[in-house]
């Protein structure tokens, strides 16, 4: 038995018929084809599946697709616009905030939400805002750095973070 | 003249744009037309006879294509899972493991049936309906009891539970102990841990019926290795079997072997004539992806009152699990490195591999070297405590100082400067001030501690002269460098990256070596269809072995380009000068040709007499030795005596991995590595119920992977002692952080608890353990 669901994903409306038991994360990945949202646990621990629902960070493995009916969902694919990276994306790139990149979409969504709520978080507030996300590669050092640097960029304090997707990040060194 | 040097520069990663925008291509992102899904039915028992399996209800369930058991796979999967020698060539027994249990299940989580259905929900539904009649048998869980004659058996057709018993004697151990002022004994554990890559395993198998051709997408560190074994067992020649491993969400050693599910999915694709996808869920992963460590060391050390170390005896009891992992005996390397970075008159080591009814253990980040470092660094601190000497001074007194150094077991440490990294780390943490502060705080009833770890490790696996006899395979590495007519360069390699940033760092090497723009270099890995055979990525080998294979191909390309330049300038080859990708006749740098121009010429007409067209080369590199990174980590902690909670106040690391290609990447590898060692020291432990063999830590709720809140700030620094082993002067850095860090934390905790008379603390040093120890000491 399926049920209709109509919602907006990354600014685009869609309608589908889904089983009521289908998790939002599976709906996004397998029905909507947006595979940037990842799954890394069965128990809502890892945050790899974090998306925004009506602007609020939600673990999409803990919500049924039908519960998102009428809502506006933003996934990692919807964060950059017209080739311009979101400052959090740019900061993760600049600060080497990812290695394998599997946890990264969830972290970026959670951090983007954190900075929207609190544009200049203290170190403690960064930790509290992101402790629902797990990363096994980075030891979190550069993720913290990236969030701090995104916060500075968004408040216009930093130089050198343009927020633009540059063609090459290679900067040869004079020697 | 301004020159550019990419090697050593902090280049942002080219891997990142797709990953930060959600356009990575991980295993669950692979989807094929008409693809079916596989769900694995696993034994809930640690040990049970399988009386019968009733698949009828599952078969009748909605969307089910097939329900398959061992009997169905018998004629399709033709061989067992492989087991390599890995440091113990003559094992007592190597029981064959078929990818799915037939009559007897021997660990909780072992596959007993698979369901193939139209989607993953339907496959999981039907898996619940497979009914298996089990007769539970005794679970063998305790290592020492398992060794006893007459112990219940892990599997009923085995003579006993011993996998190997190997002795590693070096020097006259009795003489060394006879010289001693004192001998200390300790038991030092290495609990089982989950490697826990954030991406679980998974695969998509597409066997083309009537064609005997197959593509297997899988989340692995070793695509060529998978092709060799899975293809072999399925009877598909390598030429017709393609293994693809695109983006991989972490490996840490747990994705470097062929696994049962890769065989089962491939066979199921052949049987059902549909592409078959299997994605492991986290609970399956915790049960059925290999675990790390799982060892107990009984150690005796002989030393003099002046701090001179003399002799070391130890036995490693290693929990193999129910079957040998493919590299289960790799961790035995701990025996050969148990002496660490110190001079010893003699070392006598023994390793006993013991089967239990648990999942197999196999390499986990560091594999054997974290164990060795933890052992020897603990022992040195015990000696320091016994004689009341500063632990830094005991280390200094016994450091190896002359290189190359042949250790007690004949392994040759290539280069090192151990005292320099110790001094640097002590200066960075301001050791005298820290000790003074510790004294002040102790007077106030606060318990802070300082822990050292001065480590050396073996990596860059490895020279065929050593790995072929030890591991049974020659761990060489390969590359193919192809310069296209318009000058861009494709480099294909046999290694594999899953977070290590090779696409960036290898391109840095090629840009410098060929003198071409960084952006013109493309690095390809992870697809056996377009890369030369290689052994993959583990053992911090990709740069020191794989990077050198790339260098070798680049040199061949430059040699040919010189011939092309000589021809173009009508000069002799000896007179051609190559300077940053510009080729000219000596004394006439104004008239030069770029590599791209020579490449274009190489595909055109009018080549020198006898020269073949094209500009490309293939190389295999066999290193002359391993490489030996080293360094010093110092951890400062405070323990709350009322709760047993540990807080890390400072974590200072000085590491030396030889020359550095990209400092940003090196630091990142250290951050993650150190975090995993700290986490083993403080939090992580795979737990099974001793009576039933049930896993008690089967979800991420029960198994603690640290969050941001649990990790300190890492203060990194480095020294640079180039390796003489290779032209780049590089070592490896993927595992060093993990190898060094667990014992820095434990030594710090032990130091903090010294006022209670506590000399040794086991891992994980969780609050309940420390609280009980303090309570007991106070009583
Ligand atoms: S998949 Fe782990 S929290 Fe959603
Ligand atoms: S970057 Fe690999 S898990 Fe976070």
User: Of the residues A78, A99, A127, which one is the last residue of a structural domain?
Assistant: A78
Task: Give yes or no: residues A41 and A112 share one domain.
Answer: no
Task: Give yes or no: residues A94 and A145 share one domain.
Answer: yes
Considering every ligand atom shown, identify the ligand nearest to the alpha carbon of residue A96 and give its number.
Answer: 2
Asked if the model's pLDDT at residue A175 lies above 50, the reply is: no
Confidence category of residue A138, pLDDT binned at 50, 70, 90: very high
Instruction: Give, in order, the Cα–Cα distances in Å from B500 to each of A150, B506, B513.
Output: 24, 11, 21
Q: What is the pLDDT of residue B471?
A: 67
Q: What is the pLDDT of residue A156?
A: 78
For residue B540, how many other CB atoms are within 10 A of its CB?
30
Higher pLDDT, B347 or B2: B347
For residue A29, the 8-state DSSP code is I
Selecting from B28, B198, B713 the residue whose C-beta is nearest the C-beta of A135 gives B198
Task: Give yes or no: residues A61 and A125 share one domain.
Answer: no
Task: Give yes or no: residues A94 and A70 share one domain.
Answer: no
CA distance B675 to chain A (A): 5
Task: Give yes or no: residues A61 and A123 share one domain.
Answer: no
Task: Give yes or no: residues A94 and A159 share one domain.
Answer: yes
H or E element: which one contains B411? Answer: none
Please write the tens of the pLDDT for every residue from B277-298: 999 999 999 999 999 999 999 9
| Fold for the domain defined by B33-139+196-288 | Aldehyde Oxidoreductase; domain 3 (3.90.1170)
What are the tokens at A125?
């507030």
Mean pLDDT computed over B607-629: 96
Asked if the model's pLDDT at residue B413 lies above 80, the reply is: yes
Q: What is the pLDDT of residue A160?
A: 41
Do the two domains B16-21+477-621 and B399-460+627-779 of this chain adopt the same fold? yes
Distance CA B260, CA B241 (A): 17
B705 close to A (CB below 8 A): yes
Asked if the model's pLDDT at residue A162 lies above 80, the reply is: no
B624 close to A (CB below 8 A): no
Please write the tens of the pLDDT for every residue from B345-403: 999 999 999 999 999 999 999 999 999 999 999 999 999 999 999 999 999 999 999 99
User: Of the residues A60, A78, A96, which one is the last residue of a structural domain?
Assistant: A78
In chain A, % helix, strand, coil (3-state, to 5) comes to 35, 20, 45
Task: Give yes or no: residues A120 and A149 share one domain.
Answer: yes
Selecting from B20, B29, B282 the residue whose C-beta is nearest the C-beta of A93 gives B20
Please write the tens of the pLDDT for every residue from B500-518: 999 999 999 999 999 999 9
Distance CA B115, CA B99 (A): 15
Structural domain total, chain A: 2
Distance CA B227, CA B223 (A): 6
Are B708 and A96 inside 8 Å of each other by CB? Answer: no
CB contacts, 8 Å: A175 with chain B = 3-5
- Residues of the domain holding A138: 87-171
Ligand 1, atom nearest to A50 Cα:
4
Predicted structure pTM score: 0.96
Distance CA B422, CA B426 (A): 6
Selecting from A42, A139, A172 the residue whose C-beta is nearest the C-beta of B283 gives A42
Mean pLDDT of chain B: 96
Ligand 2, atom nearest to B199 Cα:
3
Contact between residue B616 and residue B557 where contact means Cβ atoms under 8 Å apart:
yes
Confidence category of residue A157, pLDDT binned at 50, 70, 90: low
* CA-based nearest residue to B198, from A140, A138, A136, A132: A136
For residue B339, how many other CB atoms are within 10 A of its CB?
26
Q: What is the pLDDT of residue B527?
A: 97
Domain boundaries, chain B: 16-21+477-621, 33-139+196-288, 399-460+627-779
Asked if the model's pLDDT at residue A167 lies above 60, the reply is: no
Task: Give yes or no: residues A47 and A96 share one domain.
Answer: no
Measured in Å, residue A111 CA sits from the centre of ligand 1 at 16
Task: Give yes or no: residues A34 and A67 share one domain.
Answer: yes
Please write the tens of the pLDDT for every residue from A7-61: 999 999 999 999 999 999 999 999 999 999 999 999 999 999 999 999 999 999 9
CB contacts, 8 Å: B19 with chain A = 98, 101, 104
| Fold for the domain defined by B16-21+477-621 | Aldehyde Oxidoreductase; domain 4 (3.30.365)
* CA-based nearest residue to B737, from B660, B690, B677, B657: B677
Mean pLDDT computed over B73-80: 95
Q: What is the pLDDT of residue B465?
A: 86
Please write the tens of the pLDDT for every residue from B577-599: 999 899 999 999 999 999 999 99
H or E element: which one contains A12? Answer: strand A12-18
**Alpha carbon B444 to chain centroid distance?**
44
Asked if the model's pLDDT at residue B474 lies above 60, the reply is: yes
Confidence category of residue B100, pLDDT binned at 50, 70, 90: very high
Mean pLDDT of chain A: 91
Q: What is the pLDDT of residue A169?
A: 41
Task: Give yes or no: residues A117 and A97 share one domain.
Answer: yes
Out of A29, A59, A130, mutate this one to test ligand 1's pocket (max ligand atoms within 8 Å of CB): namely A59
Confidence category of residue B447, pLDDT binned at 50, 70, 90: very high
Mean pLDDT computed over B690-701: 95
Contact between residue B135 and residue B48 where contact means Cβ atoms under 8 Å apart:
yes
Interface of B with A in 144-173 (CB under 8 A): none
Q: What is the pLDDT of residue B644?
A: 98
Q: What is the pLDDT of residue B2?
A: 34
Mean pLDDT computed over B66-90: 95
**Alpha carbon B464 to chain centroid distance?**
19
CA distance B661 to chain A (A): 13
Considering every ligand atom shown, identify the ligand nearest to the alpha carbon of residue A140 and give its number.
Answer: 2
Contact between residue A69 and residue A75 where contact means Cβ atoms under 8 Å apart:
no
CB contacts, 8 Å: A76 with chain B = 20-22
Task: Give yes or no: residues A96 and A161 share one domain.
Answer: yes
CA distance A62 to chain B (A): 15
Distance CA B250, CA B707 (A): 17
Contact between residue B66 and residue B38 where contact means Cβ atoms under 8 Å apart:
no
Out of B195, B252, B499, B705, mutate this one to test ligand 2's pocket (max ligand atoms within 8 Å of CB): namely B499
% of chain B with per-residue pLDDT over 90: 96
Distance CA A142, CA B179 (A): 50
% of chain A with per-residue pLDDT over 70: 89
Confidence category of residue A172, pLDDT binned at 50, 70, 90: very low
Task: Give yes or no: residues A73 and A122 share one domain.
Answer: no
User: Of the residues A78, A103, A127, which one is the last residue of a structural domain?
Assistant: A78
CA distance B106 to chain A (A): 25
CB contacts, 8 Å: A165 with chain B = 17
Range B399-460+627-779 has CATH code 3.30.365.10: yes
Length of chain B: 779
Residue A125 sits in a domain of what CATH number?
1.10.150.120
Confidence category of residue B1, pLDDT binned at 50, 70, 90: very low
For residue B222, how many other CB atoms are within 10 A of its CB?
26
């Amino acid at each position: 038995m399926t049920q209709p669901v109509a919602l907006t994903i990354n600014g685009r409306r869609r309608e589908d018929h889904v089983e009521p038991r289908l998790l939002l994360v599976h709906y996004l990945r397998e029905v909507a084809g947006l595979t940037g949202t990842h799954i890394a646990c069965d128990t809502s621990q890892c945050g790899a599946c974090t998306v925004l629902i009506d602007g609020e960070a939600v673990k999409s493995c803990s919500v049924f697709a039908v519960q998102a009916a009428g809502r506006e969902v933003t996934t990692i694919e919807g964060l950059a616009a017209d080739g311009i990276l979101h400052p959090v994306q740019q900061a993760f790139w600049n600060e080497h905030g990812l290695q394998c990149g599997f946890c990264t979409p969830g972290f970026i969504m959670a951090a983007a939400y954190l900075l929207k709520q609190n544009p200049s978080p203290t170190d403690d507030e960064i930790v509290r805002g992101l402790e629902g996300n797990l990363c096994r590669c980075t030891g979190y050092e550069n993720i913290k750095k990236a969030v701090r640097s995104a916060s500075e960029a968004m408040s216009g304090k930093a130089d050198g973070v343009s927020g633009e997707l540059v063609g090459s990040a290679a900067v040869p060194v004079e020697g | 003249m301004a020159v550019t040097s990419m090697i050593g520069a902090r280049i942002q990663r080219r891997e990142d744009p797709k990953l930060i925008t959600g356009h990575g291509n991980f295993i669950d992102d692979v989807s094929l037309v008409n693809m079916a899904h596989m769900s694995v039915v696993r034994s809930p028992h640690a040990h049970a006879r399988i009386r019968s399996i009733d698949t009828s209800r599952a078969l009748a369930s909605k969307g089910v294509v097939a329900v398959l058991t061992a009997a169905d796979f018998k004629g399709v999967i033709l061989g067992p899972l492989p087991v390599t020698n890995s440091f113990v060539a003559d094992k007592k027994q190597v029981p064959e493991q078929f990818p799915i249990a037939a009559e007897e299940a021997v660990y909780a989580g072992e596959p007993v049936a698979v369901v193939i259905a139209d989607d993953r929900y339907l496959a999981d539904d039907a898996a619940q309906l497979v009914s298996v009649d089990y007769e539970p048998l005794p679970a063998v869980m305790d290592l020492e009891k398992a060794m006893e004659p007459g112990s219940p058996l892990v599997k009923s057709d085995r003579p006993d539970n011993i996998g190997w018993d190997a002795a590693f004697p070096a020097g006259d151990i009795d003489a060394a102990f006879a010289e001693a002022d004192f001998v200390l004994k300790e038991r030092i554990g290495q609990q089982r841990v989950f490697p826990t890559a954030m991406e679980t395993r998974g695969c998509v198998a597409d066997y083309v019926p009537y064609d005997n051709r197959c593509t297997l997408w899988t989340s692995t560190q070793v695509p060529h290795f998978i092709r060799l074994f899975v293809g072999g067992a399925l009877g598909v020649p390598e030429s017709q079997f393609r293994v693809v491993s695109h983006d991989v969400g972490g490996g840490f050693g747990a994705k470097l072997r062929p696994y049962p599910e890769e065989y089962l999915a491939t066979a199921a694709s052949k049987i059902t004539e549909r592409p078959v996808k299997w994605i492991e869920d986290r609970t399956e992963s915790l049960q059925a992806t290999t675990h790390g460590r799982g060892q107990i060391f009984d150690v005796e050390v002989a030393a003099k009152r002046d701090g001179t170390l003399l002799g070391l005896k130890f036995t490693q009891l290693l929990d193999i699990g129910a079957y040998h992992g493919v590299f289960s005996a790799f961790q035995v390397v701990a025996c050969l490195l148990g002496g660490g970075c110190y001079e010893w008159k003699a070392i006598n080591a023994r390793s006993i591999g013991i089967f239990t009814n648990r999942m197999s253990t196999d390499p986990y980040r560091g594999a054997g070297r974290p164990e060795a470092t933890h052992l020897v660094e603990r022992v040195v601190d015990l000696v320091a405590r016994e004689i009341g000497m500063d632990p830094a001074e005991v280390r200094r007194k016994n450091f190896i100082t002359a290189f190359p150094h042949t250790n007690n077991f004949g392994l040759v440490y290539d280069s090192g400067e151990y005292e320099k990294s110790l001094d640097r780390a002590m200066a960075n943490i301001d050791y005298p001030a820290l000790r003074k502060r510790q004294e002040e705080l102790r007077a106030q009833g606060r318990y802070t501690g300082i822990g050292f770890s001065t480590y050396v490790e073996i990596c860059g696996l490895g020279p065929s002269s050593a790995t072929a006899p030890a591991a049974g395979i020659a761990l060489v590495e390969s590359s193919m460098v192809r310069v296209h007519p318009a000058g861009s360069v494709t480099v294909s390699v046999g290694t594999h990256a899953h977070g290590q940033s090779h696409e960036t760092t290898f391109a840095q090497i090629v840009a410098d070596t060929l003198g071409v723009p960084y952006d013109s270099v493309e690095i390809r890995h992870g697809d056996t269809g377009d890369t030369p055979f290689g052994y993959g990525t583990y053992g911090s080998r990709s740069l020191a072995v794989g990077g050198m294979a790339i260098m070798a191909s680049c040199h061949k390309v430059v040699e040919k380009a010189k011939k092309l330049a000589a021809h173009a300038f009508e000069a002799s080859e000896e007179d051609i000068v190559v300077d940053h990708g510009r080729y000219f006749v000596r004394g006439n740098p104004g008239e030069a040709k770029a590599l791209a121009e020579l490449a274009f010429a190489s595909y055109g007409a009018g080549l020198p007499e006898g020269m073949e067209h094209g500009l490309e080369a293939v190389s295999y590199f066999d290193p002359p030795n391993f490489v030996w990174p080293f360094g010093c980590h110092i951890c400062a902690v405070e323990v709350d005596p009322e709760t047993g909670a540990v807080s890390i106040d400072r974590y200072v690391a000085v590491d030396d991995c030889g020359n550095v290609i990209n400092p940003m990447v090196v630091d990142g590898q250290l951050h993650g590595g150190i975090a995993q060692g700290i986490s083993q020291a403080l939090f992580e432990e795979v737990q099974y119920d001793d009576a039933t063999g049930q896993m008690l830590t089967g979800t991420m709720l029960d198994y603690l992977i640290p969050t941001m809140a649990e990790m300190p700030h890492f203060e990194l620094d480095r020294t640079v002692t180039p390796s003489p082993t290779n032209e780049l002067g590089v070592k490896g850095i993927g595992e060093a952080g993990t190898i060094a860090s667990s014992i820095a934390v434990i030594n710090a905790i032990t130091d903090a608890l010294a006022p209670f008379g506590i000399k040794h603390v086991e891992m994980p040093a969780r609050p309940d353990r420390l609280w009980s120890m303090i309570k007991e000491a106070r009583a």
